[in-house]
Amino acid sequence: MAKLAQTAGLTEVQQEILATVRTFVDKEIIPHASALEHEDTYPQDIVDGMKEMGLFGLTIPEEYGGLGESLLTYALVVEQIARGWMSVSGVINTHFIVAYMLMQHGTDEQKQKYLPKMATGEVRGSFSMSEPDLGSDVAAIKTRAVQDGDDFVIDGAKMWLTNGGTSNLTAVLVRTDEGKPKPHQNLTCFLVEKPTGYGEVAPGLTVPGKIAKMGYKGVDTTEMVFKGFRISGEQILGGKRGGGFVQMMDGVEVGRVNVAARACGIAIRAFELAVEYAQQRTTFGKPIAEHQAIAFKLAEMATKVEAAHLMMVNAARLKDSGQRNDVEAGMAKLLASEYCAEVTQEAFRIHGGYGYSKEYEIERLMREAPFLLIGEGTSEIQKTIISRGLLREYKIR
Ligand SMILES: Cc1cc2nc3c(=O)[nH]c(=O)nc-3n(C[C@H](O)[C@H](O)[C@H](O)COP(=O)(O)OP(=O)(O)OC[C@H]3O[C@@H](n4cnc5c(N)ncnc54)[C@H](O)[C@@H]3O)c2cc1C
């Protein structure tokens, strides 16, 4: 058999990109990941390396200076990067989502202004829906923008911004009262330019320090507080008030394929660590891999890795072919993140007591995997999306 998580039908360009990224991950990420993660240090050298490889512009069209690659290429790159260290994939994910939202919904001026600089990594994107009181229930957003002449004034608090301190362009979803009957029709997405860093970074805009997290360290996750922050109406994504919810959900949909890809990457790495350790560790006179209980664990883990990879690839290919993929992306995200948690847990058990030591990589993976059950919509929210899609498709006449 071939190694796990192979993808049939890739172009030569895709294969080349993946080979380059795999080498980068093996040489530049895996050897440094655990130390950087334990110190909660931002992986600046790794990020610089990704910039050099053009990864910030991977999906941005060539006319704007990017590589113009597909969602599938992006997802497979993310899978490799997360295999090395999930936090590094977090650095490019929100950037990718904001670039996607600009490509799909931005005005020509907005595309011209931001995409070329996003392709080089000079402009780095983050996106913000969540607030202290809400995450799943996006339509309940309280942060408000009120029009004042040609400008808007934003007040409110945002929560959980990945790359909130290291980005300089944030897509922020806020309430603008449009007088529409449904709450989600009254939301607008603003493109907030800001300096990187922490504290009051612009008049009326504060990014307090990094939130201390259980895992997913190195990459910054922050709050963002608006107090009378003034922004031009020209910064509304697509120039269209009231369309923010649909624009953000479109971004989150591709984000879900990306989270599924991250889950695949962590699960692949957990399997690699387990299958190696199981052949080295002996108990009762033989390698533990020769005890059937452990061999069967490996078989189940590998089957889960393979299934998750196939669903993730399917969801990405559907989107690339121009079809709606909300249900498939939800299914891929649900299955891949749940399997990732299970595979990581089994790899941890195979390591016995050493799995609990910070010297072993599996300890880090154990703290990273749970985030994937939450980010870009929890498993319960994925099941809501999937079941709604099923009831639409299988509606009785
Ligand atoms: C490290 C990290 C990084 C993040 N990065 C970002 C980011 O960059 N941008 C951003 O906008 N957000 C970000 N988030 C926020 C993330 O998207 C939310 O945490 C997530 O959507 C869940 O929302 P919540 O935490 O408010 O949980 P809640 O919505 O309060 O949910 C709590 C529990 O109730 C369940 N639940 C809620 N509603 C239902 C329902 N209708 N039916 C059944 N069960 C339900 C949930 O599944 C969950 O188990 C990040 C979060 C973390 C932890």
DSSP string, 176-238: -----SSGGGGEEEEEEE--SSSEEEETTEEE--PPP-SSS-SS-EEEEEEEEEEEEGGGBGG
Which residue among 97, 136, 247 is best mutated to probe the pocket of ligand 1, counting the most ligand atoms within 8 A of its Cβ? 136
The pLDDT assigned to 374 comes to 97
Distance in Å, CA 376 to ligand 1 centroid: 8
The pLDDT assigned to 170 comes to 98
* Tokens 């559907």 belong to residue: 318
Please provide the average confidence, as pLDDT, over all residues in the chain: 97
Give the separation between CA 222 and CA 83, rounded to whole angstroms.
24
Give the separation between CA 88 and CA 6, rounded to whole angstroms.
22
CA quadruple 3, 288, 336, 211: dihedral sign: negative
Distance in Å, CA 336 to ligand 1 centroid: 17
Ligand 1 interacting residues, C-beta cut-off 6 A = 94, 127-130, 134-136, 160-162, 213, 216, 221, 371, 374-375, 377-378, 380-381
The pLDDT assigned to 13 comes to 97
Which residue among 124, 127, 130 is best mutated to probe the pocket of ligand 1, counting the most ligand atoms within 8 A of its Cβ? 130
Which residue among 128, 160, 172, 245 is best mutated to probe the pocket of ligand 1, counting the most ligand atoms within 8 A of its Cβ? 160
Q: Is residue 297 over pLDDT 90?
A: yes
Instruction: State the pLDDT confidence band at 243, using cuts at 50, 70 and 90.
Output: very high
What pairs with residue 170 in β-bridges? 126, 192
Distance in Å, CA 101 to ligand 1 centroid: 21
Mean pLDDT computed over 15-33: 98
Domains and CATH numbers, the chain: 12-123 (1.10.540.10), 126-242 (2.40.110.10), 246-391 (1.20.140.10)
The pLDDT assigned to 324 comes to 87
Give the separation between CA 357 and CA 96, rounded to whole angstroms.
34
Distance in Å, CA 171 to ligand 1 centroid: 18
Instruction: State the pLDDT confidence band at 397, using cuts at 50, 70 and 90.
Output: confident
| Pair of tokens at residue 136 | 């799943």
Mean pLDDT computed over 132-138: 97
The pLDDT assigned to 258 comes to 95
Question: How would you class 237 by CB atoms within 10 Å of its CB: exposed for 0-12, middle for 13-18, buried for 19 or more?
Answer: buried
User: 73-130 pLDDT, tens per residue?
Assistant: 999 999 999 999 999 999 999 999 999 999 999 999 999 999 999 999 999 999 999 9
376 is a catalytic site residue:
yes
Instruction: State the pLDDT confidence band at 3, using cuts at 50, 70 and 90.
Output: very high
Closest residue by Cα to atom 22, ligand 1, is: 135
Instruction: State the pLDDT confidence band at 217, using cuts at 50, 70 and 90.
Output: very high
Mean pLDDT computed over 138-155: 98
Give the separation between CA 322 and CA 147, rounded to whole angstroms.
36
Strand pairing report for 205-207 and 144-148: unpaired
Q: Where are the beta strands (DSSP E) in 233-355?
A: 282-283, 286-287
| Pair of tokens at residue 67 | 């590589």
The catalytic residue among 131, 253, 306, 376 is 376
User: 319-353 pLDDT, tens per residue?
Assistant: 999 998 999 999 999 999 999 999 999 999 999 99
